[in-house]
Amino acid sequence: MAMYRHVLFASDLSKAGDAIGQKAKEIAEVNWAKISLVHVFTPFEPGYASELGGFSEALPVPDPSLEKLALTELEQQAQRLLLPDATCHLGIGSPKREIVRIAQENEVDLIVIGGHGLHGLEYILGSTADGVLHRTVCDVLTVRVEG
């Protein structure tokens, strides 16, 4: 019996993300599981405003052409990972919240996400991986990312 039925790879679209995606792919293959990819498009920098709470109405409206570019890059990452049948999801807003929302909506039982040392505002607010871990009910695998 397979341990996981649906694996979600949370991608930041970086080249380092390919190694994390490869780990997610291997886990999905061993478990004969479905695999999906998600990238959360954050239309503001540095991306922490929604985490501070209270003024999400003031956030800028995402540029549809940038959203399309992000989804295209995610689909290209799926192709590089040789995952032509993977479903690609694009969330908009807080990565912590959107990854968890998409995982719940798609009955994901494992989220694979990159993790690295905390610095700056991330140190104060917590990493995306940590935020996902504390918000979801499914398993979370954090793959160490150098840098």
Model pLDDT for residues 106-116, shown as the tens digit of each residue = 999 999 998 76
Model pLDDT for residues 78-137, shown as the tens digit of each residue = 999 999 899 999 998 889 999 999 999 999 999 999 876 554 444 444 588 888 888 988
- Output the CA angle 139-130-96, nearest 5 degrees: 90
Predicted structure pTM score:
0.81
Contact 95, 126 (CB under 8 A): no
Residues 6+ apart with CB under 8 A from 18: 77, 80, 81
